[in-house]
Chain A
């Protein structure tokens, strides 16, 4: 029996290194099934509830596709219009109700801690698909899978995280996981958007050295992975300051001249101007592949949790 069977996936920090490696290997095996070239009925007869209190096309569709590819079924809602939530039902009550209709619950909710609360009110496994500014562990798993699949390993890779490192939940979760897996981390951000102190302390406690920089040029030469995130306009009171800052973290062909041959560029998408379109044509660009990796990774996770697959 898999150590994942029936387990909640609430935060990437609940997963050990061995857990993460198990998911990555299982995801690799799922690739042909995800592509439709091999059929699977491993979750036949199982029902997944997808409760999306706020819309998220990408995450919801990939979970639904993952379940369908494994022969299971999906029910749920996207947006709370017309549901009992709008009548003021508590999350706890909704979860207690949905429990009797499904074998596992995927939850996206605008408030932090919602998935942990949900898990307290049901015996069914709960997968956190994003809780406000909190956690989104399956996004982290697909990011890790992309690095592992493209580079062959995670330990020892020079991973550079660029952009809004202060508010971006994606980079926070990813940092915890990469520290767990022994990657060498570099953080590049404007001074006002630096990685929170407690996360840097955590990395240090793991015994890992890391670098911080304000300029991308300084670190291009030895990066194996460049993880780019969006710098949001709302973070800057002055629009001109935003333009300047955003411009200085833009990845384009010029900056890639110093890059390693094997550098991969990742981005959680959607992107705005932080990666120039010309980069899409280079061998460095893996962000669309990264997005498509959502499917085998979520399939692997569902199979491990619901099917007991290894």
Chain B
């Protein structure tokens, strides 16, 4: 019998199929730090038929917002987000990267107008999804090291 290292949760979200090693970045996106009051379980380097190795994050008593899911898509394009309600998978969906990434990335160009105090949200046009390439709508520069520029 297959041994379960991580026990089922009653209510919350399971983020599965995260590329191995990226679970901590997912935690960062979800803002999981000192002040979290529910249980968070992280499984790293779990064998996966589809991916070889993968990471899994389980967050109890929390469902994710659309922006959070978009951010996860930036670092884990194949991730699935399962919403658990009363031990059942109430919703299961793949993360999807929108054609335009709004308010989830910061432009690396210090002289871009989106980096000064103006009443706008950052916006990046997704030029390609694999490999991920995004260009700032305002200054037209391609964003390098996308992961480090997630808001």
Contacts and interface: CB of A to CB of B under 8 A. Distances in A.
Question: Sorted from nearest, which 3 A-B pairs have the closest CB atoms?
Answer: A113-B138, A112-B139, A113-B113
Interface in A83-130: 90-92, 109-114, 116-117, 120
Contact of A112 (B113, B118, B142): B113
Given A92-B118, A92-B119, A111 B142 contact: no
Nearest to A198: B142
Given A90-B119, A92-B120, A112 B137 contact: no
B111 interface: yes
A111 B139 CA distance: 8
Contact of B138 (A90, A117, A198): A117
B139 A117 contact: no
Nearest to B141: A112
Given A90-B119, A91-B118, A92-B119, A117 B140 contact: no
Contacts of B140: 11, 112-113, 134-135
Interface of A: 11, 90-92, 109-114, 116-117, 120, 131-135, 198
Contacts of B120: 92, 117, 120
B113 A111 contact: yes
12 contacts: A90-B117, A111-B116, A112-B138, A112-B140, A113-B112, A113-B114, A113-B136, A113-B140, A114-B113, A120-B120, A133-B111, A134-B140
Looking at chain B's contact residues, is the secondary structure mostly helix, strand, loop, or mixed? loop
Nearest to A13: B140
Contact of A91 (B113, B137, B139, B141): B113
Contacts of B138: 112-113, 116-117
Interface of B: 109, 111-114, 116-120, 136-142
Given A91-B113, A113-B112, A132-B139, 9 more contacts: A91-B118, A92-B119, A111-B112, A112-B111, A112-B112, A113-B139, A113-B140, A133-B111, A198-B142
B116 A116 contact: no
Nearest to A135: B140
Contacts of A198: 142
A117 B137 CA distance: 9
Among A91, A116, A132, A135, which residue has the most Cβ atoms of chain B within 10 A? A116
Given A111-B112, A112-B111, A117 B142 contact: no
B84 to A, nearest CB: 40
A117 B109 contact: no
A134 B137 CA distance: 12
Contacts of A109: 113
A133 B138 CA distance: 12
A225 B135 CA distance: 32
A198 B111 CA distance: 20
Contacts of B116: 111
Contacts of B137: 113, 116
Nearest to A93: B119
Contacts of A117: 113-114, 118, 120, 138
A91 B115 CA distance: 13
Contacts of A11: 140
Contacts of B117: 90
A212 to B, nearest CB: 21
A117 B123 CA distance: 11
Contact of A134 (B114, B118, B139): B139
